[in-house]
Amino acid sequence: MEPEQEPELQPEPEPEPGRAEGGCGPPGGSSAGGRRWAGGAGGNWMAAHPVFTEMMSLDISDSSQIYAAFLVYLDLLEGRNWHEVKHVGVAELQLICLHAREKELDSLQVMVPVPVDISLSHERLREIMKKASLPCDNPDTPLSVTLAIVESDSTVVYYKMTDGFVIPEPPDNTEDVGNKHWKKKRRKLSK
């Protein structure tokens, strides 16, 4: 009787060039800061997603920005149940913006997805505000966009930016409406 031979071990396949291992993040599997992006749990399902392929066909050269935009798209649509989430390429800014409604009857809001490791100067933020925001029906309404900052683990943090100062809404709690502190604060803000 012959001795049993050990089966030969096969090397694991290399990840597809230009993709994060097991996912479809930016080329090289990392963002501009060199951090690895968490790929999709189901392999390359994102690469086949119709919205992701549409975003890839836009004139945006930074694939980490496209990846961030897609993650924000999924968060708004699936995680937060926003309505009419649409992507818009802004080639002159090299950004993908998302237009969406928090509730069906709300006005459209502009989301500007950016990877966490991108530096934004005041000048760049002002340029984004001017070129990405939607025109308002009311001329007294300040321009606004919401930065959607995407971490390498797919966490998204939203920061609403407005051009100028915005007076806060009155409190929801009716007990606070008669509060002297609130009245004093409201008077100061409306001057």
| Domains defined along the chain, listed by start | 27-167 (3.40.1350.10)
85 neighbors 73 (Cβ within 8 angstroms): yes
Cα angle 148, 58, 102; round to 5: 35
Whole-prediction pTM value?
0.65
Cα separation, 5 vs 8, in Å, equals: 9
pLDDT lower than 70: segments of the chain: 1-43, 137, 173-191
Given this model, what pLDDT does residue 13 score? 45
User: How many alpha carbons lie under 13 Å from residue 188 in its C-beta half-sphere?
Assistant: 7
